[in-house]
Amino acid sequence: MDTLSRRTALRLFGSAVAVPAALAAVPALAAPAAAAPRRAGGRQWGGHQPGKIFLGMSSVTGIAAATSATGDVGLQRSFYGWDDGRREDATVAADHAADRLPWLSFKPPTSQPGGWAALASGSHDSALRARARRYAAYQKPTLLTFHHEPTNDTTGTGAEWAAAYLHIRAVIRDEIGASKIRFVPIIGDWAFNPQNRDANAGKFLTNDVLGNCAFLGIDLYQNASMAGYAQRVGFIKDFLITRGFPDKMIGLGETGATEYYGKPGATSWWSEQWRWCQNNTDTICAVSYFNSSRNSRDGVYWPLNESSGKTKAYRAAVASAESARLP
């Protein structure tokens, strides 16, 4: 494997999802050269509300049970296999009815080597067109992510993932034309870290991908360094600037805090990150908290119910003036 994946970091360094402190706790990057060309794909995306952030969560307990403790949220991230169309449709209908922005993630028919290349070749176009016809019925903005965190998997090369992403987008748009679907790739933040020798976000995020996405999604969790969004999103912003996309917005597809790392603790860490988001609504447009125990282990516990303080801090963020809902 030629990348430092979430699983590799877990194996080597004992962190549930984050890269080691040596990678995350690095100084801020120097300002990039000003010569990078400005490309298409700016701040605004369909559904964006200036000065607002769609704050929500993913949850294995179900959104109704989760939000009974936090108050109603403005976004739900949910995950699906290739043939989960019925569940996708049911989730989107419930989200739209509750004025939540759905953020769907789906995987290819196979995650084995060759899976992305097969999609890009057109082998699954009939299924993609059927998927598109379902999506045509969605009446409010809906975010769509194909194979999130592809750097973690051996389904193919970065170029093959990019080709599959662009092919899926092209087929769906060809089948139904203008729609409420907005395409968002998601990459783990460690793939942008300049001190990660295997940082390879650029192999996946080609200029064509960056020019054909509503915004860039990243997954970013608290880690032992305690480095926050200001520094770690800064690496992603630097990447976008050097690639010629200085105004491309960023959304957090997964984020979480845990008491495992000690002081200042999960509640303080999360509160500080949300304050940063409130001051950077021109950069951050969506945040989904990973309110699930699926990536938890050995004291690393991401769900909000880890403490009353963490739940209260998240609830305050949901109630803040910057927290958006679908109209």
**Does some domain include residue 274?**
yes
How far is residue 168 CA from its own chain's centroid?
Answer: 18
pLDDT over 70 at 22, yes or no: no
Tens digits of per-residue pLDDT, 197-212? 889 999 999 999 999 9
Given a cut of 90, is residue 295 above it in pLDDT?
A: no
Kindly state whether residue 30 falls inside one of the protein's structural domains. Answer: no
Residue 327 lies in a domain: no
Task: Answer for the pair 150, 161: CB distance below 8 angstroms, yes or no.
Answer: yes
In a domain, 183, yes or no: yes
| pLDDT greater than 90 at residue 46 | no
- Closest of 196, 118, 108 to residue 153, by C-alpha: 108
pLDDT in tens, 296-318: 888 899 999 999 999 999 999 99
Band (11; pLDDT cuts 50, 70, 90) = very low
How confident is the model at residue 297, as a pLDDT? 80
216: which residues sit within 8 A by CB, 6+ positions away?
184, 185, 187, 205, 210, 236, 240, 248, 249, 250, 251
Q: Span 147-172, mean pLDDT?
A: 97
Establish if 117 belongs to a structural domain: yes
Q: What distance in Å separates the CA atoms of residue 112 and residue 127, rounded to the nearest whole number?
A: 19
User: What digits encode the pLDDT tens for the residues 235-254?
Assistant: 999 999 999 999 999 999 99
Is residue 56 within 8 A of residue 100, CB to CB? The reply is yes
Number of domains in the chain: 1
Averaged pLDDT score across all residues of the chain: 88
Backbone φ and ψ of 254, nearest 5°: -145, 135
Average pLDDT over residues 261-285: 96
Distance CA 95, CA 240 (A): 31
Model's pTM, two decimal places? 0.88
Sign of CA dihedral 186, 73, 214, 112: positive
CB 244 within 8 A of CB 32: no
pLDDT score of 177 more than 60: yes
119 falls in which pLDDT band (50, 70, 90)? very high
The domain spanning residue 255 has which CATH number? 3.20.20.80
Where is pLDDT greater, at 4 or 118?
118
Examine residue 143 and state whether it is found in any structural domain, yes or no. Answer: yes
Task: Report the distance separating Cα 310 and Cα 313, nearest Å.
Answer: 5
Task: Mention every residue, 6+ apart, whose C-beta is less than 8 A from residue 134.
Answer: 85, 88, 89
Terminal Cα-to-Cα distance of the chain (whole angstroms): 45
Query: Could you give the percent of the chain with pLDDT greater than 90?
Result: 79
- Does residue 4 surpass a pLDDT of 60? no
CA 239/CA 192 separation, integer angstroms: 7
- Burial (CB count within 10 angstroms: exposed 0-12, middle 13-18, buried 19+), residue 155: buried
Instruction: With a cut of 90, say whether residue 65 has pLDDT above it.
Output: yes
CA pair distance 38, 36, nearest whole angstrom: 7
What's the chain's length in residues?
A: 327
- pLDDT surpassing 50 at residue 264: yes
Would you say residue 34 has pLDDT above 80? no
- Indicate whether 31 belongs to any domain: no
In a domain, 207, yes or no: yes
Spatial separation of the C-alpha atoms in residues 254 and 221, rounded to whole Å: 7
Host domain of residue 186: 6-24+36-319
